[in-house]
Amino acid sequence: MDLEDDGTSQVIATDGSCIQNGESRARAGAGVYYENDHRRNLSIRLSDELEQSNQTAEIVATLLATTTAESRTRITIETDSRTTMDSLTKWRQRHEDTGYIAQKNADLTRATIASMRQRGGHTLFRWVKGHNGHARNEEADKLAALGAMETTSTPIRRLFPDTLKVTGAKLQSMTQKLAYQAICARKTVANLDRIVSGVKEAFGLHVHDATVWNSFRTRHVSRLISQFLWMAVHDGYMIGSHWLRPKMPPDLQDRAVCAICGELETMTHITLECEATGRETIWKLLQEVWTHTGARWHEPCWGTTFGAACAVFRNADGAQSAALEQLWCILSTEALHLIWRLRCERVIQNEGRNFTESEVANRFYAAMDARLDLDRRTAAIAHGRKALRQKDVERIWLPVIGNDKELPPKWVVDSGILVGIKRGK
């Protein structure tokens, strides 16, 4: 039936869908189903500024349902997402009291609640089990899937009167843990923005926060470096302003400043700006190694280093080159982590003594050769569908290996063959 602004009731089914969910090329769609051939049925693709995931698509579909239904109509929204339903009902008061500090998709949740408050009719929810033969849910699922396959996205209305949105947090609801989370979250968001904008500028790819976090766990990022990336983005290391806490003794507060540059230490300063011997040398050596691939060099920044696993490279035909992308990820993250290790050794173990250029160069080539050796040993014992195999190591590393024309067929898995990366241009 067509809805009129007369207080009638309507059941609306909503659902979200995502192609390649959790990957950098994910595309999400939202579906809203009223009735067969109804003029308000919706199938849209989520805009790029939103996280491309099933859960985001679910909340977007709910927001669309509340904004497209007639204001005075009493609606019952059928959803197969308990998380979405509970966020808007059972957990709403708690999240509003704590300022949505620990809430994922906080902006969309706020907008959906504001839309519900703006309506004249009641908004009810009913959970249904997904993919269980429920007719309306199946139709909403089809619409969501069609939306994810759309070539163009649709902007979502998220602006509502301020009087309908609760901002801030209640003091009585705050705990020390929540306050600390809020402070840390601001720094984390800033670092994620640096990565996202850097990836966009360098590679022309718009990635979402979830894609960045997932990229830290790719098999081409070692476990040790994955932990380093996670800690660095969360501003979890004891550097810079962490030494300037009120009760910190004066002699310890001096550690906040870089002894070489006289600047407040930050992860940006350490990895991209510091004048201490090591940082600039390592990036120059990496550039020399990269020239052997024939691919474009990208200057180090948060996007090209911390976001290295999101890199996009294309071959002469314009097709994406997975091997180049994986090699960039390996070399860039290894170089980044080496800069951090050398800084820690200089400040903590060597009591401020600088490394020499030759020491840095030797450490750089040793680190790259060690990583190549690790991949070779991993391929030699490869088990499972996702394991790194001999052909993978050959495809990734061959452009930067010395004497590559003289290597025997099974050089990857033969531990008796000494292999290293090329030195110099």
Per-position pLDDT tens, the chain of length 425: 444 445 589 999 999 999 987 776 789 999 999 999 999 999 999 988 888 889 999 999 999 999 999 999 999 999 999 999 999 999 899 888 888 876 788 889 999 999 999 998 999 999 999 989 999 999 999 999 999 999 888 888 766 676 776 777 777 777 766 765 666 667 888 899 999 999 999 999 888 888 899 999 999 999 999 999 999 999 999 999 889 888 888 888 888 999 999 999 999 999 999 999 999 999 999 999 999 999 999 999 999 999 999 999 988 788 889 999 999 999 999 999 999 999 999 999 988 899 999 999 999 999 999 999 999 999 888 777 777 888 999 999 999 998 777 888 888 888 888 888 888 76
For the record, the structure tokens of 378 come out as 């991993």
Provide the residue ranges of all domains of the chain, joining segments of one domain with +: 9-170, 177-406
Identity of the residue numbered 340: W
Q: Measured between alpha carbons, how far is 61 from 140 in angstroms, rounded to an integer?
A: 9
For the record, the structure tokens of 92 come out as 């709403």
Beta-carbon contacts of 23 under 8 Å, excluding residues fewer than 6 positions away, are: 211, 214
Q: Measured between alpha carbons, how far is 280 from 335 in angstroms, rounded to an integer?
A: 11
CA 94 to chain centre: 27
Question: What integer pLDDT is reported at residue 3 of this predicted model?
Answer: 44
The H or E element containing residue 33 is strand 27-33
Alpha-carbon torsion, ordered 127, 128, 129, 135, to 10 deg: -160
* The pTM of the whole model exceeds 0.75: no
End-to-end Cα separation, the chain, in angstroms: 72
Query: Cβ atoms within 10 A of the Cβ of 113, count?
Result: 23
Identity of the residue numbered 274: C
Question: What integer pLDDT is reported at residue 7 of this predicted model?
Answer: 55
Q: Which fold has domain 9-170?
A: Nucleotidyltransferase; domain 5 (3.30.420)
For 232, what's the count of Cα atoms within 13 Å in the CB-facing half-sphere? 27
- DSSP letters, 308-325, are GGG---B-TTS-B-HHHH
Q: Measured between alpha carbons, how far is 340 from 159 in angstroms, rounded to an integer?
A: 43
The H or E element containing residue 9 is strand 9-19
Q: Measured between alpha carbons, how far is 336 from 294 in angstroms, rounded to an integer?
A: 22
Asked whether the beta carbons of 305 and 311 are under 8 A apart, the reply is no
Question: What integer pLDDT is reported at residue 139 of this predicted model?
Answer: 96
Question: What integer pLDDT is reported at residue 75 of this predicted model?
Answer: 95
Question: What integer pLDDT is reported at residue 5 of this predicted model?
Answer: 46
Select from 48, 13, 53, 49 the least CA-distant residue to 31. Answer: 13
Question: What integer pLDDT is reported at residue 182 of this predicted model?
Answer: 63
Asked whether the beta carbons of 9 and 73 are under 8 A apart, the reply is yes
Q: Tell me the three state secondary structure of residue 405.
A: helix
Question: What integer pLDDT is reported at residue 380 of this predicted model?
Answer: 87
Q: Measured between alpha carbons, how far is 72 from 118 in angstroms, rounded to an integer?
A: 10
Beta strands in 46-106 (DSSP E): 74-79
Identity of the residue numbered 116: M
Query: Cβ atoms within 10 A of the Cβ of 207, count?
Result: 27
Question: What integer pLDDT is reported at residue 48 of this predicted model?
Answer: 83
Q: Measured between alpha carbons, how far is 34 from 1 in angstroms, rounded to an integer?
A: 9
Beta strands in 97-216 (DSSP E): 123-127
